[in-house]
Amino acid sequence: MKNVLRTALFGALLILAAAPGIASAKSLDDALDCHSNGHKFVAPLLAAGDIERDPMHVESNSVNAFHTEHDLTAYGFGVYVVLGYQANDPIFRQGSGTPIGEWAYGVVVKGMKSSVEAAVRKAGSDATVKQAFPFLTAIVCASD
């Protein structure tokens, strides 16, 4: 019983410690309305130092994944990684396969797909929402 209580208290302290970061995090909601492109979404984040300059991973379809340097949110969810691609743009590395399209951008957030999708739709965004991993959900805008 003592261990259970200690674990619960420790978990509560971790949540409280994380709360100020989320409260002061930069929101990306407006940019995730799918009326932009990969360059216009990623370039300002690079310039502000909000994401690392070099992608931590490049998918075969050329989507670049950038690790965050500062706290970011999307629709109230903490951003785990920023995604982006723009054809013929030196910001982005080319993947080994066929590119996703002319451009794509988005984020992977910490949250369940159902909750994230509800928040995205409530905000009026047409972004695609997909489960990336358990408790991680991708919010993506892409060219047609």
Tens of pLDDT along the chain (144 residues)? 444 344 333 333 334 344 444 557 899 999 999 999 999 999 999 999 999 999 999 999 999 999 999 999 999 999 999 999 999 999 999 999 999 999 999 999 999 999 999 999 999 999 999 999 999 999 999 997
| Cα–Cα distance measured from residue 133 to residue 112, given in angstroms and rounded to the nearest whole number | 9
Q: How many domains does the chain have?
A: 1
Residue 96 domain-assigned? yes
pLDDT value of residue 56: 98
pLDDT value of residue 18: 46
SS3 state of residue 121: helix
pLDDT value of residue 113: 98
pLDDT value of residue 23: 59
Amino acid at 121: R
Residue 16 domain-assigned? no
Instruction: State the burial class of residue 106 (Cβ atoms within 10 Å of its Cβ: 0-12, 13-18, 19+).
Output: buried
Q: Which domain holds residue 112?
A: 25-142
In angstroms, what CA-CA distances link 142 with 3, 4, 86, 126, 129?
48, 46, 10, 10, 12
pLDDT value of residue 5: 40
Residue 1 domain-assigned? no
To the question of pTM greater than 0.85 for the whole model, the response is: no
Residue 9 domain-assigned? no
Residue 6 domain-assigned? no
pLDDT value of residue 1: 46
Residue 99 domain-assigned? yes
pLDDT value of residue 103: 98
pLDDT value of residue 144: 75
Residue 78 domain-assigned? yes
In angstroms, what CA-CA distances link 40 with 35, 75, 117, 130?
10, 19, 23, 22
Residue 73 domain-assigned? yes
